[in-house]
Structure 1
């Protein structure tokens, strides 16, 4: 990636899927959440895509203040096979890490 990366990005809005303004600390995002986001948003994650999660972290930080860093919503480890099967090239999120405590 010395010269950068160019690929399609897909934002999956998990907070919207769960009909909440944000995911609570410690809530994991699971493969069924990813599939429901695809369905609701009318998109399909494809090989080579960058998949980005929206958990609502920015909104919760803005409305409630700093997080403690020890509990976060985010990717659950059970998403790894799903991401591999889809051939996802990159992942990202509006949180600094996967779900904490780790799952």
Structure 2
């Protein structure tokens, strides 16, 4: 796997988690709105590398414990993807410095 593929995978993961965080925020903001259906985020693998998030409305009520748990998971997943992205960027910097020498 190339460095660019690794950074692309990490970037798609960060974008997917950002979309999930938005759905969670929407759920919390509209929890007391009559007739509001909880938004659920699902993830699909995208070829050749990466992930894509899709948000769909359900008929479930908003449960704050579920939203908080999902938010913690989202934060950790985002941080893990960010660390991979930063490592890939650092590898590019090393390769560029080797090429210049």
TM-score category, normalised to shorter length: under 0.3
Q: Hey, which of these two has a bigger chunk of helix by percent?
A: 2
Q: Could you state the TM-score of these two structures normalised by the residue count of structure 2?
A: 0.24
Q: Could you state the TM-score of these two structures normalised by the residue count of structure 1?
A: 0.24
